[in-house]
């Protein structure tokens, strides 16, 4: 079981939907959370994407030097960058971090946000574009270890002799994660990704998703891993946990809930629609469990105002661990967790839950991988310096002098 945490680049607070108890979005705060996650033994951190967030690649890059083992699950957005540029970004990050990159493809589901970024494709077209994007990206990353280029002529994307001169450390490329609830999303995950992620739906619904993606992957001769994205409110006792859930919404106004639900309804994301259906905009201030505890210890209150992952596991440590084990029994082994505020809850979750779960902790102080790739300055933007070509599999060490090539 691999447990990842979350860097709240869209802001953090003790209370949802209110400036009360809010914390500034700053590098210092991100660093505190990353260092905590690194030292506590989390596998990695998810860094969100979108116009409401700081840029995930900039944030992740800034945290390489302050962490040792922590991996970074960073978003690729088809249509915002070309697949060849995205491959260079990924390879550079993988090299500079010592092989600590994980990739999370995000197609987007908010038409208003996408339009602001110059993207006007509908849901089906975005998935067509994503298929082409990942086909090019994977081929460029894979062929970088051979030094060859790649041609592609698709409906949305075209490249000619796309290549990557500095290959990433992880072969053939960093692990690929993807989440989506539509039929197109399941098919894309089955055909091209390593780990399928779901938001925190009740176990029966998650089991249906896992079975469907497994069936589709088998048709492609592939197998996938599975993971889930959840918030956690864990305390010493169940009563304390539910009081904390109530406090999280204690400054939340009805107008804020209505505005958020209205925006969610305008999105074409199937996953977001499923999250909204779990809470239906209901909120009983006298009893936060009423209508929002949609399965034992699974609470949909976060999704009243938060887009994306909108459910939390609420209970004492034993209850929450049992719920996580139930998801694990469905075949899930990646658990991307978060809690408000994220710094304190990173410590609380590690203290209360890690001893009760078969957590695979990040390896400590492993030797940094040996870099491969061209040696010397690249000539004319694409010619590897002549002479003995770098042996991509050989360990680092003194190299023989290269003879000057004939002109």
- Domain around 59: 2-76+175-356
- Report whether pLDDT(200) > 90: yes
Determine, yes or no, domain membership for 321: yes
Mean pLDDT, the chain, whole residue set:
92
Average pLDDT of the segment spanning 57-80: 97
Determine, yes or no, domain membership for 41: yes
Q: Which of 83-87, 143-147, 180-184, 193-197 has the lowest mean pLDDT?
A: 143-147
Determine, yes or no, domain membership for 395: no
Determine, yes or no, domain membership for 141: no
3-state SS, the chain, equals CEEEEECCCCCEECCCCCCCCEECCCHHHHHHHHHHHHHHCCCEEECCCCCCCCCHHHHHHHCCCCCCCCEEEEEECECCECHHHHHHHHHHHHHHHCCCEEEEECCCCCHHHHHHCCCCCCHHHHHHHHHHHHHHHHHHHHHCCCCCCEEEECCCCEEEEECCCCCCCCCCCCCEEEECCCHHHHHHHHHHCCEEEEECCCHHHHHHHHHHHHHHHHHCCCCCEEEEEEEEEEECCHHHHHHHHHHHCCCCCHHHHHHHHHHHHCCCCHHHHHHHHHHCCCCCCCCCCCCCEEECCEECHHHHCCCCCCCEEEEEHHHHHHHHHHHHHCCEEEEEEECCCHHHHHHHHHHHHHHHCCCCCCCCCCCCCCCCCCCCCCECCCECCCCCCCCCCCCCCCCCCCCCCCC
Give tens-digit pLDDT for 297-312: 999 999 999 999 999 9
- Report whether pLDDT(366) > 70: no
Determine, yes or no, domain membership for 274: yes
Determine, yes or no, domain membership for 275: yes
Count of structural domains, the chain: 1
| The predicted structure's pLDDT at residue 389 | 47
Average pLDDT of the segment spanning 363-383: 72
Determine, yes or no, domain membership for 264: yes
| The predicted structure's pLDDT at residue 402 | 38
- Report whether pLDDT(339) > 70: yes
Determine, yes or no, domain membership for 266: yes
| The predicted structure's pLDDT at residue 249 | 97
- Report whether pLDDT(405) > 50: no
- Report whether pLDDT(406) > 70: no
CATH of the domain at 261: 3.20.20.30
């Amino acid at each position: 079981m691999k447990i990842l945490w979350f860097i709240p680049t869209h802001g953090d607070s003790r209370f949802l939907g209110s400036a009360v108890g809010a914390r500034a979005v700053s590098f210092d705060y991100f660093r505190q959370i990353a260092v905590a996650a690194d030292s506590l033994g989390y596998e990695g951190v998810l860094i969100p994407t979108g116009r409401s967030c700081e840029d995930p690649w900039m944030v992740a890059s800034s945290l390489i030097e302050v962490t040792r083992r922590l991996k970074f699950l960073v978003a690729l957005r088809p249509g915002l960058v070309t697949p060849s540029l995205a491959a260079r970004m990924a390879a550079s990050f993988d090299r500079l971090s010592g092989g600590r990159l994980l990739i999370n493809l995000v197609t987007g589901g908010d038409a208003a946000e996408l339009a602001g970024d110059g993207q006007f494709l509908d849901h089906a077209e975005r998935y067509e574009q994503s298929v082409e994007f990942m086909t090019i990206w994977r081929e460029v990353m894979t062929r970088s270890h051979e030094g060859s280029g790649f041609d592609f002529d698709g409906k949305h994307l075209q490249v000619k002799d796309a290549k990557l001169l500095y290959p990433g450390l992880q072969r053939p490329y960093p692990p690929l994660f993807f989440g989506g609830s539509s039929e197109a999303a399941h098919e894309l995950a089955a055909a091209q990704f390593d780990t399928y992620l779901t938001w925190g739906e009740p176990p029966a619904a998650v089991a249906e998703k896992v079975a469907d993606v497994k069936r589709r992957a088998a048709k492609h001769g592939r197998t996938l891993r599975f993971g889930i994205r959840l918030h956690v409110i864990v305390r010493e006792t169940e009563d304390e946990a539910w009081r904390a859930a109530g406090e999280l919404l204690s400054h939340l106004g009805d107008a804020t809930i209505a505005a958020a639900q209205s925006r969610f309804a305008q999105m074409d994301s199937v996953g977001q629609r499923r999250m909204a259906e779990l809470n239906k905009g209901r909120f009983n201030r006298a009893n936060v469990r009423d209508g929002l505890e949609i399965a034992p210890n699974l609470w949909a209150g976060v999704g009243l105002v938060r887009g994306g992952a909108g459910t939390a596991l609420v209970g004492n440590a034993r209850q929450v661990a049992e719920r996580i084990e139930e998801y694990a029994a469905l075949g899930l082994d990646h658990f991307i967790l978060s809690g408000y505020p994220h710094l304190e809850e990173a410590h609380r979750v590690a203290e209360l839950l890690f001893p009760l779960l078969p957590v695979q902790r990040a390896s400590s102080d492993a030797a940094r991988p040996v870099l491969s790739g061209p040696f010397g300055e690249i000539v004319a933007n694409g010619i590897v310096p002549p002479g003995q070509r770098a042996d991509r599999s050989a360990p680092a060490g003194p190299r023989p002098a290269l003879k000057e090539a004939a002109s």
